[in-house]
Amino acid sequence: MAKVLMKGNEAIGEGAVRAGCRYFFGYPITPQSELPHYLAKRMPEVGGLYLQSESETAAANMVFGAAGAGARVMTSSSGPGISLMQEGISYIAGAELPCVIVNMIRGGPGLGNIAPAQSDYFQAVKGGGHGDYRVICLAPASVQEIIDLMQDAFDLADKYRNPVMLLADGVLGQMMEPVELGEEKFVQPPEKPWAATGRKKGGPKRLINSLYIVPEECEQHNLKLAKKYAVISREEQRWEEYHLDDARLVIVAFGTSARVCKAVVDRARDEGMAVGLLRPITVWPYPTGVIKRIREKVDRFLVVEMNMGQMIEDVRLAVEGARPVHFYGRAGGMMPVARDIFNEVKKLYNGGAEQ
Amino acid sequence: MFEGILIAGFGGQGVLSTGQLLAYAGMKENKHVAWIPSYGPEMRGGTANCGVTISDRPISSPVVSEPTVLIAMNRPSLEKFEPAVVPSGLILVNSSLIHIKTKRSDVKTVYVPANDIAESLGNGKVANNIILGVLLELTGVVSTESVLEALKEVLPPKRHNLIPINQEALEKGRQLAREFKAS
């Protein structure tokens, strides 16, 4: 099939429609507004519903409602809007409902700016809202991968009855790249016998709820959730390896940063340095398995992020002190430049050789 | 091959669509391409720019921070981005609207009175494709045929009547570039 040139934000919208998503609730915010814009036009074409809510708080709770009724539903925003949604996301996780939430991260904290960043990593993978819950978190690095991951996002959400977050940034949202959309196929979401769709004259009572007023029962609920999260952690780690086999220095980066780091690896290889890249595709569950597997074989790790050092904590947890873990980051909406990262790599690589 | 092309000017000068034309054309030639607009808090009548990367290798960052080519459609764009162009890069200056010279001596600069030529063709709006024609001739980054193919996709069907005038503009630009090369 022929390739088309598509913006990342539009690709998210098209990918969602192709994955069978028929409900979108959201509120505009740069740098993701092309996504609601696209779906405002696209959803009616496929018999779906697009609704601009009065606020992000409302959007998250509309998602809660639609998910409870068994719909494939999505919302999207950027940093500040995602912060407003956290109460709803916690309720959705507590009530074990499937949905997809998109965060096209911008510079923060606070109002920050609209330039690309990865500074919502902690918020995405460590909670964000209140309570003991987890959100499956996918981090694409290209417009094509966005298309491919949208189907997985909805499938994972349904499989585990859990919110799934697509974590990207302003660059991925704004850039156009060639994509192959593939054949459009009819997607039948799985049966949802738990969905609250009305008793219909004497059917079983179905209650969607995150209230467990008796502590003993709430603990049981938490244990059940923890068991589910353990299964997800074991089964759903995803990553890409680039020249890892003989790498003595391994760069770990996700999303847009990883794209830049690939060029750094190429240049380092051209200059005879054994440098590789590990790109987490799921940032929760974090691909700790691969890090544990390679950590004894490498000299050191370098984590590159568009923030002041967040994912590095997950790398360190996986490395468990076996090797030094270094950091290079740009923040506040600034992009890392391949040459600067390369200089860092060179410094560390040579330092490693002397020891 | 690798070209990082920065196209900058006023909103309405076809800056973003010229970039998309290039990206589409590169895609049709099975090259790796990326297009990214500036998306700051822009205002009507303010500046707009986009970066287009065309390469035979996968593209790392789509952001064109060190352009190999700068197309400056207005003076603020030239002044802002001129220092970022790589040494021995190329600057195409829309001399209809920019009455200053570049300060760089380590790059190739071509002055193109794009608006004047476009007006002489009968449509001032094709100034962007005059400059694009110059770019195609001087760099060969993509073929004119690919750009013409891409025009059909970038222009909505109801605007396809504008394809001939755009084609004329591209040819005029290429002709200018040939004259420049000969001189």
Assign residue B175 the CATH number of its domain: 3.40.920.10
Token pair belonging to A139: 């981090």
pLDDT at position A352: 58
What value does the mean pLDDT take over residues B77-104?
Answer: 97
For residue B27, list chain A residues with Cβ-Cβ distance below 8 A: 3, 5, 178
- More confident of the two residues A331 and A350: A331
For residue B34, list chain A residues with Cβ-Cβ distance below 8 A: 175-177
Dist. CA A5–CA A324, nearest whole Å:
41
Total Cβ atoms within 10 A of residue A48:
19
CATH code for the part of the protein at A4-235 = 3.40.50.970
Domain range list for chain A = 4-235, 239-354
Convert the pLDDT of each residue in B143-155 to its tens digit.
999 999 999 988 8
The distance of B79 to chain A (nearest Cα, Å) reads: 22
Dist. CA A205–CA A33, nearest whole Å:
39
The distance of A110 to chain B (nearest Cα, Å) reads: 17
Dist. CA B12–CA B45, nearest whole Å:
8
Would you call A174 and B39 a contact, using CB atoms and an 8 Å cutoff?
A: yes
Average of per-residue pLDDT values in chain A: 95
On the question of a common fold for A4-235 and A239-354, the answer reads: yes
Would you call B62 and A5 a contact, using CB atoms and an 8 Å cutoff?
A: no
For residue A264, list chain B residues with Cβ-Cβ distance below 8 A: 60
Res A355 pLDDT > 60: no
Would you call B40 and A114 a contact, using CB atoms and an 8 Å cutoff?
A: yes
Task: Give the pairing type, strands B47-55 and B32-37.
Answer: antiparallel
Res A350 pLDDT > 90: no
Convert the pLDDT of each residue in A222-279 to its tens digit.
999 999 999 999 999 999 999 999 999 999 999 999 999 999 999 999 999 999 999 9
Would you call A176 and B34 a contact, using CB atoms and an 8 Å cutoff?
A: yes
Nearest to B63 among A5, A178, A335 (CB): A335
Touching B: A residues 237-256, CB under 8 Å: 256
Nearest to B60 among A30, A178, A263 (CB): A263
Buried (b) or exposed (e) across A83-101, using 16+ Cβ within 10 A?
bbbbbbbbbbbbbbbbbbb
Q: Going by C-beta distance under 8 Å and a sequence separation of 6 or more, which residues neighbour residue A203? A: none
Q: Which one, of A105, A183, A177, A181, lies nearest residue A142 by Cα?
A: A177
Tell me the residue range of the domain where B127 lies: 2-182
pLDDT at position A1: 59
Cis peptide bond upstream of A31, omega within 30: yes
Question: How many C-alpha atoms does A16 have within 13 Å on its Cβ side?
Answer: 35
Would you call A114 and B41 a contact, using CB atoms and an 8 Å cutoff?
A: yes
Query: How many Å from the N-terminal Cα to the C-terminal Cα in chain B?
Result: 26
For residue B20, list chain A residues with Cβ-Cβ distance below 8 A: 5, 176
Hey, CA dihedral for A64, A66, A72, A74, is it positive or negative?
Answer: negative
Convert the pLDDT of each residue in A109-118 to its tens digit.
999 999 999 9
- Order the strands of the A300-305 sheet from edge to edge: A239-242, A275-280, A249-252, A300-305, A325-329
DSSP annotation of A116: B
Residue ranges with strand state E in chain A: 4-7, 23-26, 49-52, 73-77, 99-105, 136-138, 163-169, 176-179, 239-242, 249-252, 275-280, 282-284, 300-305, 325-329
Q: Which one, of A172, A181, A153, A159, lies nearest residue A282 by Cα?
A: A153
Would you call A5 and B61 a contact, using CB atoms and an 8 Å cutoff?
A: no
Interface pTM, i.e. ipTM: 0.93
Check if A353 contacts B (Cβ < 8 Å).
no
- What residues form DSSP beta bridges with A284? A137
Instruction: State how many domains chain B has.
Output: 1
**B7, B36, B86, best to mutate vs chain A, most A CBs in 10 Å:** B36
Provide the pLDDT confidence category of residue B40 given band limits of 50, 70 and 90: confident
Dist. CA A321–CA A244, nearest whole Å:
20
> A239-354, what's its fold?
Rossmann fold (3.40.50)
Nearest to A259 among B23, B40, B60 (CB): B60
What value does the mean pLDDT take over residues B40-59?
Answer: 86
